[in-house]
Each structure stands twice: as C-alpha cells, then as structure tokens.
Amino acid sequence: MAGVAVPIVELTGGVKFPMIGFGTWQSAPDVVGNAVRTAIDAGYRHIDCAWNYFNEKEVGQAIKDKIAEGKIKREDVFITTKLWCTYHRPEDVKRGFQESLNDLGLDYIDLFLIHGPPAFKPGPKWFPTDDSDFDDTDYVDTFKAMESLVDEGLCRAIGLSNFNTQQLERVLQNCRIKPAVNQVELHPYLVQQKLVDFCKSKNVVITAYSPLGSPGRDFAQPGEARVLEDPVVLDIAKNHEKTPAQVLLRYHLDRGIVVIPKSVTPSRIKENLQVLDFSLTADDIKTLGSLDRKNRYVDWSFCKTHKYFPFHDSA
C-alpha cells in the first residue's frame, strides 16, 4: 500500500475495508481523474463514489490507468458507490447499479449503498423540485432488491447512507443480508453520538463523510462556522504538531470510524493520509466531542417533506 499501513476494519463476510478512503463528491470531472491518480500514488486504496457525483467515468479511468501502470491490481482497491433515489423501485435497482458499474468500468463493486432513504420518481429528472417528484417506495424493499446483487457476485457488501437509527433498525429487522455500513455526516460540530452508539451496538460500521466539515462544498454559506478554524481544534493541532485537518481525521479514527476526506489538491491529498503516526488523547476526544452544535452541513433540505426524510431529529 505504497508503504502506508492504513488500518482495516472487517465487514460482513470478511470483506476488508480500509479505514481511510478518498472522497470524490463535488470533484469536477476535469480534475477528479488527476486527484484519484494522486491518491492512489499516495497510498489510498479505498475510493468513495456515487452515481450522482457525475464523475464516475473519470474516476474509473484513473483506476484503470493505475492498473495498467502496474501500480495496483483491481483487488487492491476498495470501491464504494451509491444507488441514487430515482432508482429505489426494486425493478430499477439493478439498472442503477449497472450504470455506476459501467461508468466505473469495473466487473464488480466492493460496497454498494442506498444513498439516502427517500425515493424519487424514476426518470431523467434526478433532483426533486417539489413534492410531486417524490416516490413512495419503501427503502426496505430497495435494500431487499440490493441483496440479489450480492447473490450474483456483482458487489461484495451492501449498506446504507444518511439513515437514522429508526430507519436502520427497520432494515436490520427485515433484511436477509445485514447492511455492512452506514455512511453519514460526522465531525465535531455534528457528533451524532446516539447514532454512532447504535451502529456500533449492531456491528454496523460507520463511515464519516464531510469529516472536515465540508468547507469546499458549493453551497457553503458566507460566514458559517468552520470546524477547521475552531480555536479548540487549532489548539489541539498545535499540541500535536499536526494540521487541523489531520486532527479531525484522527478524531474519527480513534473512535473506530472510517473517514473519506475529499481534496483535489495534491499536497492535501497526501497530508490527509499522514495521520497514522499519532493518536489523540482521551481528553482531546472528549474536548472535540463537546464542540457539538448539531450543525448539519449536508441537510437534504430538498426533500424535507418526504415521508422518509431522515433528519427530523438528531438521531
């Protein structure tokens, strides 16, 4: 792994899941390829993708380039992608999966997640503009349809994203194949301890997206509080002689949570992987957790009136 011994967590069925991944959300198609190639060269072996990032062809090409160079083999790199909400109807699940598989140019996916609980009507309009675009498909039925992808050998593990505790519990009670992962927004301004504890009690691995507070997202608000600039984070970083980003990533890793930081800047891509030579103290972790403001930066407000909207409470 390019000399980088990234810790591994084992998913259902013995699937090995690298605890530091490379995020590709809001990475433009014309820059994401170079970012992925840089990440693989740096030692990342876990790439997080999604149908609605609209850059999977470029991500796939970067992976193919590195395989062709002999830098990696397919089995060396863990690929996650996600089923978008317009493909929730059981009869559409495989088609949604296949679109990502084809764009990535792969024979199989390592981890396939439901991107979020709400379903939207099938069709070319991928983003809802009012309630008429919503669909009533139950995410439990969607997940059951995903189980057949594992049976067919098309993906090695399946899971969820943006599910709250009640929704996760419904899936657990009705599934044949247990969801391996719940990928959710987590950082010291959004600790979600109840959800973290629940997932751990059910042996569902948590992946933290936006672990740095998503400062570069295209809908960031002027003047909003940035966890990367919080004086407490800066102080802990100074004490460890690390950057604020490295401290925030370590905060998750020291709590057994997988992280998928995103960057297109080569120096930061490398820096975000250089978090394996230190640990935070118990006091550091407690102090960072006390910063919780319930600040959800990725709030899915575009479907807050949907029957399966997941964020009505902090669970």
User: Hey, is 270 helix, strand or coil?
Assistant: helix
Euclidean distance between CA atoms 259 and 22, whole angstroms: 8
Catalytic residue (one of 44, 53, 139, 189): 53
Please measure the distance between the N-terminal and C-terminal CA atoms of the chain and give it in whole angstroms.
Answer: 36
Decide if 87 is catalytic.
no
Instruction: Fill in the amino acid letter for 258.
Output: V
Q: Which residues pair with 184 in a beta bridge?
A: 208
Which 8-state DSSP code applies to residue 220? Answer: P
Contacts of 17 (CB under 8 A, 6+ apart): 8, 9, 10, 11, 46, 78, 111, 157, 180, 181, 205, 258
Pairing state of beta strands 22-23 and 46-48?
parallel
Is residue 150 within 8 A of residue 127, CB to CB? The reply is: no
Euclidean distance between CA atoms 283 and 100, whole angstroms: 42
Short-list 205, 197, 199, 191, CA closest to 293: 191
Contacts of 46 (CB under 8 A, 6+ apart): 6, 17, 18, 20, 21, 22, 77, 78, 80, 260
Euclidean distance between CA atoms 300 and 188, whole angstroms: 19
Which 8-state DSSP code applies to residue 52? Answer: G
- The total of other beta-carbon atoms located within 10 Å of residue 62's CB is 22
Residues serving a catalytic function are 53
